[in-house]
Each structure stands twice: as structure tokens, then as C-alpha cells.
Structure 1
Amino acid sequence: MKSAHVPESVKKVVHLGSRSVGWLTAGARLLPSFLICGGQRCGTTSLYRALAAHPAVLKAVLHKGVHYFDTSYHRGLSWYQGHFPLRRTAARVERELGVPTQTFESSPYYLYHPHAAGRIARDLPGAKMIVLVRDPVERAYSQHAHELARGFETVADFASALDLEPVRLRGQRERMLADQHAYSFSHQHHGYRARGEYAVYLRRLALEIPPERILVVESEQFFTDPRPAYDRVLDFLDLPSLGYPEFEQHNARPRSAPMPARLRTELRAHYAPHDAELAQWLGRTPSWRA
């Protein structure tokens, strides 16, 4: 039987109640042992759902992305911990499976936010990071479509939005570094070219979190041949192989028209040095450069 549509107002009330209960029981709940962060439009939702299907993995209670270490850090660690499963639930699952359980969340903005890496290192010592990357040219085009669809972008022409990016982002990172409570809408939503410079953010992440606790995964590999990529993730997380989930691609937004060839060539040249540095993290040339 088809389930009835739940109004957004009702969902908000349910979520608020669940968060209140979570906050009150925060001390009895788990904290994540790993996070999926970045890049946006790189398949983070698909990997999140594949890992959430693993019997020994318990996901965040309400949302795949809690956004604590970027935009909600002022709410405090108890608020964050309230989003995750109870320890008694984990203990029951561990008895049934005979293996340790883990919990996690996925917030792509953690890779880009100036304070996120330091906050993660401080509050989740020992946590591992999975960073998804994708052809940065295609990623930028996909992000623009995504922001348009959500109403976070008003400039419909991709080339025009790219031209505006330096103006929109000028001084925003510096302002956020100077004030840990500062927020920048454009920094979160309009970094089309900037967010594909993966090596820059990985370098910054590695200043706070040891590189051996960072795994970089190509989304192209995950979508075209998911099982080896999934096995690599399980090995990195010390999770047992207990079969494969259904691998699906989520949140894809096809464009109505291809990217202009001139713009594609320009972006490809821009990303060349960044992709060369990224190869050191992947252990090989990125597939879009091979």
C-alpha cells in the first residue's frame, strides 16, 4: 500500500522532537568513527546509502548530513551526539553479528569549511575521513544545476556564474577564519570552480588529520565498478565483508545542454596542476586525465 504524504510541517515537528530526545540522551549515544566529506556532487549520497546498508554500520538517526562541524558547531557536542544511535542499540547489534559496530554521517561541506578539519580533529580524535572526488569540470557543472534547482543560485548561465565566483568569494574564507561563528552563503553555495581544487583541501585536511586516516575515492570508479571501490572502503574502515548492497546513483541532475567546448577547455586547463597533485592521493592519474 502506498504511504500517505507527510507534510513538511509535520516532519519538522517530528525531527524537532527526535532531536530533543537525542540531546537529553546524548551521553548514552555513540559518536562517529568515520565521516564522508566532499566533494559536493561527487556521489556522497550513494556511498552513504551503500555503507548504511552494511549490518555493522549504524547511520545518523535523522539525516545523512548533520552539518555540525561546519554550520552548527555553536550548538555543542551534546547536540551533535544526540543525532546518533544509542550505545545499547550498538551493543545489541554487536551481540547478534559478533563484530564491532560503527556509526557515521556525510556532510560534504566539511571538506571546504575553514574550521571543520580542526574541529573534527579535536572532537573526534581517531575518526577516519572518506573524501569522494569526481572530474572537477563535470562536478562544477553539476553543482551549478543543483544550486539552481534548490533556489540557492539565481544566475542561470553557468559561464556567468563562474565569472561572478571570484567576486562572490573574495575575502570570505579570511572573514570566516577570523571569526569562527561567521557564515558565508556564497562560500557554501557558489564555489563552483574552487571546490574542484581537491588537492588544496586535502592538503589542509592533512594538517589536522593524519593522511593514513584519509581515504580518497574516485566517484567514477565507484559508479562504474562499485564492488572493488566498496571493498577498499570496508578495508579502510576495518569493516568485515558481509555481502554487497544494491549500488545506486542518487541525486543525479542531468543538464539540458552540454557545456560549451571553450569553457570545458578553460576549466580543464585550470584544474591540470590540481589533478596532478591529486594523483599523489589516489596513487595514480585521475581517470578523467588518463
Structure 2
Amino acid sequence: MTGRGARVPAPVKRVVHFGSRSYGRVTAPARMLPSFLICGGQRCGTTSLYRALAAHPAVLKAVLHKGVHYFDTSYHRGMSWYRAHFPLRRTALKVEQRFGMPAQTFESSPYYLYHPQAAARIARDLPGVKLIALVRDPVERAHSQHAHELARGFESETSFAKALALEPARLCGEEDRLAGDPRAYSFAHQHHAYRARGEYATYLARTAARVGRGWIHVVESERFFAEPSMVYREVLDFLGLPHLGDPPFERHNARPRPSGMDPGLRRELAAYYEPHDDALATWLGRTPGWRR
């Protein structure tokens, strides 16, 4: 017997998702495309912001998955496949009739910010789309990602320090390979870029060169969790959505760390990120909170 809160078996879930996507492809021309995306960064509170925005009455979230990963790892599937993940336009019309404002839909794929092909693809296929990028203390982000990849079975090196030491060899040539081959995939680039993913300003600049700086809103995740209502209102203003009350603000996907970080390693990483944090300050309009 299955209760209301019972977990759906993985094989059943796969069948349901396959059927839903198949129906979605058939109805793709009648479906919405996103007006905004949460594009990163990984382990920066993207799920928490996604849940808050999905609670807005005029926002319709992607069906099946919060992260479609079309513009990074599934671009070869085509736009009909991508459209299949979003609500029907008739659903959006009902929302507009009920609330007196156009409905918006979105998804959240944190690998978009880091993948070298994603920004150009987004600019080409979704002109005028708005992007939200979350950032956090890159030292904490790297440590959190390592714990996350371990828990998911995507990392075999249990020592964070050793995983950092392995990173240059793991990523050697992968960025260029991904940039040069539209069908290429790199497991290491997606799952083992602990240090590299914290160079936020580099990837924001690359994205801005494709979509325009005015179409990107950067959120400092520490501030989002400290002042959720204020940050939420700022995001709504960026998206052109009215404030109709605050949703529940909760932390999602937090994982325990298997061990603390060596103080010497923390100092080394903080020094490494200092110039990157200085560059990020121009995006935030202030020194990042973790540097103050």
C-alpha cells in the first residue's frame, strides 16, 4: 500500500516522465517558452529561490523537472524537446484572466552559467530572456559542492583537499573541447570543477557578452537567506512581476559536510578568489559580503 507521502519507485517515475515528455513534444507548438532562467551557480541557493518564485501566482514552473539542462547537456534534443517541459499557453491564458497579468514560466539549471556553450545558445534561442545568477562565498561553495557530489555518487575522492589537487588534471582541455564540439560532454567539467566554478565574474562576463548585461540579475545568496523578503522583491522587480505577498522562505538541498575544512586550505582558497571577488563587486555594486 502506498500512502500519500510515499516515494514513487524510480522505474514508475521514468515511465511517467517519458509519457509526459512524449505528449509534450506533440503539443510543443502550443507551449510556453521561459521568460527567465536561473542559470547558476551550483550550491548557491538556486533551489530555494526557485521554490520561492514558483509560488508566485503569475509564475508557472517547468513541468517534471526544475532543471531541464537543455542549453548545457541536452541541446542536441532540439527545441521541441525543450518546449515539452513547459506549460501550455492555454494554462498561461487562464492565469492571465484570473490575475490580470501575463503568466511567466522558467526553469533552473545551475550548469548554464559555467558551460561554455550555454550563453550563446540561450541568446540564440531565447532572445530577451532574463537570467538570474546566484553567488555565494566561493570557498564555502566549493566545499559544499564536493560534499554534494560525494553524496550523489559522482565523486570518489573523499578528501576535499585531494579533490582540489586532482581538479587541474581532471579539467585539462575540457573547456576547449566543450567549446569546440557542440555535442561533447564532460563529466569532470560538470561535477568536479570545485575551484573553477567560484570564478563567478569570469562566467558572468562571458554570459553578458552574449545576452547583454542588463538582462542578468546577480543575487548574493548569503543576503537572500538573511533578508529573503527584500531580495525576493528585488528579483520580482527585475522580472516585472508585482509583489503579491511573500512565499515561505526555506533552505533546500542543504547537505552535511563529511568533515571540516583545514584552516590553511581555507586561507589558500580565500587568497585565490580575492581578485575574482573584486571583479564580482562590480556586478553586486558592493564588496561581496564574505569579504567584508
Give the TM-score taking structure 1 as reference length: 0.99
CA shift for structure 1 position 2:
3.8
Q: Which amino acid aligns with 1:282?
A: L
Specify the SS of the correspondent of 2:211.
coil
Q: Which residue of 1 aligns with 2:259?
A: 257
Q: Which amino acid aligns with 1:35?
A: L
Q: Which amino acid aligns with 1:169?
A: L
RMSD of aligned C-alpha atoms?
0.8
CA shift for structure 1 position 106:
0.1
CA shift for structure 1 position 130:
0.1
Following the alignment from structure 2 to structure 1, what is the Cα–Cα distance between the partners of residues 248 and 219?
A: 18
Following the alignment from structure 2 to structure 1, what is the Cα–Cα distance between the partners of residues 60 and 15?
A: 23
Q: Which residue of 2 aligns with 1:197?
A: 199
How many residues align? The count is 290
CA shift for structure 1 position 224:
1.0
Q: Which amino acid aligns with 2:236?
A: L
Following the alignment from structure 2 to structure 1, what is the Cα–Cα distance between the partners of residues 257 and 6?
A: 31
Q: Which amino acid aligns with 1:215?
A: H
Specify the SS of the correspondent of 1:288.
helix
Q: Which residue of 2 aligns with 1:225?
A: 227
Following the alignment from structure 2 to structure 1, what is the Cα–Cα distance between the partners of residues 46 and 179?
A: 26
Specify the SS of the correspondent of 2:102.
coil
CA shift for structure 1 position 43:
0.3
Specify the SS of the correspondent of 1:103.
strand
Following TM superposition, the consecutive aligned residue runs of length 4 or more in structure 1 with deviations greater than 6 angstroms are none
Following the alignment from structure 2 to structure 1, what is the Cα–Cα distance between the partners of residues 103 and 179?
A: 36
The gaps in structure 2 that reach 5 residues or longer are none
Is 1:55 aligned to residue 57 of structure 2?
Answer: yes
Is 1:44 aligned to residue 46 of structure 2?
Answer: yes
Following the alignment from structure 2 to structure 1, what is the Cα–Cα distance between the partners of residues 192 and 148?
A: 11
Q: Which amino acid aligns with 1:4?
A: A
- Show CA shifts across 1:38-79 (max 9, x none): 110000000000000000000001100000000000000011
Specify the SS of the correspondent of 1:129.
strand
- Show CA shifts across 1:182-207 (max 9, x none): 11100000000000000110110011
Following the alignment from structure 1 to structure 2, what is the Cα–Cα distance between the partners of residues 158 and 286?
A: 24
Q: Which amino acid aligns with 2:285?
A: G
Following the alignment from structure 1 to structure 2, what is the Cα–Cα distance between the partners of residues 118 and 209?
A: 8
Specify the SS of the correspondent of 2:40.
coil
Q: Which amino acid aligns with 1:3?
A: G
Following the alignment from structure 1 to structure 2, what is the Cα–Cα distance between the partners of residues 2 and 151?
A: 29
Q: Which residue of 1 aligns with 2:176?
A: 174
Specify the SS of the correspondent of 1:130.
strand
Q: Which amino acid aligns with 2:13?
A: K
CA shift for structure 1 position 256:
3.7
Match of 1:243 among 239, 242, 245: 245
Following the alignment from structure 2 to structure 1, what is the Cα–Cα distance between the partners of residues 290 and 206?
A: 24
Larger deviation, residues 256-265 vs 57-66: 256-265
Following the alignment from structure 1 to structure 2, what is the Cα–Cα distance between the partners of residues 185 and 116?
A: 16
Q: Which residue of 2 aligns with 1:23?
A: 25
Q: Which residue of 2 aligns with 1:143?
A: 145
CA shift for structure 1 position 149:
0.4
- Show CA shifts across 1:112-132 (max 9, x none): 111000000000000000000
Specify the SS of the correspondent of 1:180.
coil
CA shift for structure 1 position 250:
0.2
Following the alignment from structure 2 to structure 1, what is the Cα–Cα distance between the partners of residues 177 and 19?
A: 35
CA shift for structure 1 position 102:
0.3
CA shift for structure 1 position 100:
1.0
- Show CA shifts across 1:213-239 (max 9, x none): 000000001111101100000000000
Give the TM-score taking structure 2 as reference length: 0.98
Specify the SS of the correspondent of 1:19.
helix
Q: Which amino acid aligns with 2:92?
A: A
Following the alignment from structure 1 to structure 2, what is the Cα–Cα distance between the partners of residues 5 and 262?
A: 43
CA shift for structure 1 position 134:
0.4
Following the alignment from structure 1 to structure 2, what is the Cα–Cα distance between the partners of residues 100 and 157?
A: 49
Is 1:288 aligned to residue 271 of structure 2?
Answer: no
Identity %: 70
Q: Is the 8 A contact 2:147 2:258 kept in 1?
A: no
Q: Is the 8 A contact 2:198 2:273 kept in 1?
A: yes
- Show CA shifts across 1:155-199 (max 9, x none): 000000000000000000111111111111000000000000001
